[in-house]
Structure 1
Amino acid sequence: MSDSIVDGMTNTAENPLFDYSPITERPALHWPGDARVAVYLGLNIEYFLPDRPSTSIWPGTADLVPDALNFGWRDYGVRVGIWRTIESLDRHGFRASALVNSAAAEHYPQIVKAGLDRNWAWLAHGRTNSVLHTGLTRDEERRELTDIVDTIAAATGRPPRGWMGPGLTETFDTPALLAELGLDYVLDWTNDDQPYRLTVPGMLSVPYTVELNDLLLFSRGITGPEFVRMVRDQYEQLRADSAHGGRVMALALHPFVIGQAFRAKYLDQALEYLAAQPDAWVTTSDDIAEHYLRTVRQR
């Protein structure tokens, strides 16, 4: 049947949050200083509950309470890995786009201070990465988002402008509710190399990546040298594509993955390469969204 029902929706249902827009049919996008590729680092700063299963390196113990093996692996990121990662960002002049759980903002004030000292951009990343942002009524979600945003604002001294849900989760109401709270953009829809406007007035989707993402790459057996090669390949192709308009390159980092000692030099090599590109705009997701909203007319 052409209109078969899947999970209560027909297969002809359209996404109400954005329209189809082929990148080949858009006006050229221009970055500051005639840069060709806007490059930002999405640094995931996450809080995990010790009695809930979550991202795991070994599924065999994931349902145990406590799950010392997997929780300890995740916890390494905020205790050790992030400080190693920060050293590399500092060395090559990168400001992080910090994707912070509101619970992480409360529990890890030393990390917040390090980010404030470096003028990081702060994005709301849900409450905790042990719980996906789904299954909420509109009123429940409004209360949840308000508390998340207020908690991050209190910890950092500034309200977040962007959102990425834990596990890139949101509801169809999320962008409108975020707009009510003063946010400008989401990262969850990883379907483009340029920002684009959502159907919610004033809200953008800014590119993020589940491909050039340390958590997924290294879990598939990618090696450090292969990671560096992929970063170079990504930039080179996006730069070539930018002959028809500026592109965005996101690099997604998790301190419990990239912050492991044996991977540190490969992150350093990747950042050294990106920082050396004369036509790269090394920036944050906040600045990408702000530039787009200010310079690109709504179509």
Structure 2
Amino acid sequence: MTLYDSLYNYSPITERPALDWPGGKRVAFYVGLNIEHFLPDEPSTSIWPIDVKPDALNHGWREYGARVGIWRIIDILDRHGVRASALVNSMVAEHNPQIIKAGTERDWAWLAHGQTNSILHTGYVPDEERRILTDITTTIETATGRRPKGWMGPALTETHNTPELLAELGYQYVLDWTNDDQPYRLNVPEMLSVPYTLELNDLGLFLRGLSGPDFLQMVKDQYDVLREEGGRVMALALHPFVIGQPFRAKYLNLALEYIAAQSDVWLTTSDDIAAHYATT
């Protein structure tokens, strides 16, 4: 038996009962807003592969998100009544408290996203991982006043023990397994997988050369197909240092304008999606 056989069961979406969202809505839509801290001069998401210290080029590109980009995104989310599902590195609490304050004022959902996106969540033995996860959880809870219910590892990384250890800490779901358009139960008691996306994800799309109008059309097409199918989750994954650039933010505004205008969309958070599905 492989890890994947033991963690979850294969279930074709065509063989499941219909999934209903509150108010008879056909699509549950949420924004997964990656709020990340990066260690200077450490390998991480880079716009240019160089090995220099100080690495002003790559670190400055990433840090634009915390200094400028996220504030532009916050304005756009507010404009269209969208509460973020904030995927937050615990180090953000120390380094960017103004972002935490802005999110708590807006009643964002807070998910743990590791310590920093400069360190993958992998290679830990269980006791070490338990200690690290406990520290991440308590740091986010102290900063936001809310204990995180969801987890997404830096670069979607886990160990073989992560879901069970998260369950011990009271977590209810993970986003790391991007293999479905609906939530499903893991073979770890009380744990769900909630859909996230590597496809409708600004980091992958724009760094491959996608244009703003292309992004807007993809968001519209994704929603239209999922609405036709019904009972689906639509995640939109955003990174402030990417979509927060002015020439891209323009198209995020237009995309959310389209989504928010739909009569059959449930504008929600990953927390509320998990909570609703857990009752079915």
TM tier, smaller: over 0.9
Q: State the Cα distance separating 1:51 from its structure 2 match.
A: 2.5
2:9 is matched with which residue? 19
Number of matched pairs = 279
1:68 to 56, 73, 87: 56
1:284 is matched with which residue? 269
Distance in 2, matches of 1:105 and 1:121, equals 15
Q: Is the 8 A contact 1:51 1:65 kept in 2?
A: yes
Q: How does 1:1-299 map to 2 (within 5 A)?
A: 13-15=2-4, 16-59=6-49, 61=50, 63-242=51-230, 246-294=231-279, 296=280
Distance in 1, matches of 2:160 and 2:48, equals 33
Q: Write out per-residue CA displacement over residues 76-105 of structure 1, whole angstroms, 9 at most, x where no aligned residue.
A: 000000000000000000000000000012
Q: State the Cα distance separating 1:182 from its structure 2 match.
A: 0.5
Distance in 2, matches of 1:130 and 1:102, equals 12
Q: State the Cα distance separating 1:13 from its structure 2 match.
A: 3.1
SS of residue paired to 2:251: helix
Q: Is the 8 A contact 1:52 1:65 kept in 2?
A: no
Q: State the Cα distance separating 1:52 from its structure 2 match.
A: 0.5
Distance in 2, matches of 1:107 and 1:68, equals 18
SS of residue paired to 1:38: strand
Q: Is the 8 A contact 1:39 1:281 kept in 2?
A: yes
Q: Write out per-residue CA displacement over residues 90-138 of structure 1, whole angstroms, 9 at most, x where no aligned residue.
A: 0000000000000012211100000011000000000000000000001
Ranges of 4+ aligned residues in structure 1 off by more than 4 Å:
none
SS of residue paired to 1:41: strand
Amino acid at match of 1:281: W
Q: Write out per-residue CA displacement over residues 272-299 of structure 1, whole angstroms, 9 at most, x where no aligned residue.
A: 00000100000000000000112x1xxx
| TM-score normalised according to structure 2 size | 0.98
Amino acid at match of 1:27: P
Distance in 2, matches of 1:14 and 1:158, equals 31
SS of residue paired to 1:167: helix
Q: State the Cα distance separating 1:198 from its structure 2 match.
A: 0.2
Q: Write out per-residue CA displacement over residues 191-231 of structure 1, whole angstroms, 9 at most, x where no aligned residue.
A: 00000000000000000000000000001100000000000
Structure 1 segments unaligned to the other structure (5+ residues): 1-11
Q: Write out per-residue CA displacement over residues 9-54 of structure 1, whole angstroms, 9 at most, x where no aligned residue.
A: xxx7351210100000001111000000000000000000002110
Structure 2 segments unaligned to the other structure (5+ residues): none
- Cα distance, 1:13–1:175 mapped onto 2, change above 3 Å: closer
Of structures 1 and 2, the larger Rg is shown by 1
Q: Write out per-residue CA displacement over residues 133-192 of structure 1, whole angstroms, 9 at most, x where no aligned residue.
A: 000001111001000001000100111000000000001211110010001000000000
Amino acid at match of 1:231: V
SS of residue paired to 1:176: helix
Q: Is the 8 A contact 2:3 2:160 kept in 1?
A: no
Amino acid at match of 1:191: N
Q: Is the 8 A contact 1:106 1:151 kept in 2?
A: no
Q: Write out per-residue CA displacement over residues 41-79 of structure 1, whole angstroms, 9 at most, x where no aligned residue.
A: 0000000000211000111x2x22221000000000000
Amino acid at match of 2:2: A
SS of residue paired to 2:156: coil
RMSD, aligned CA? 0.8
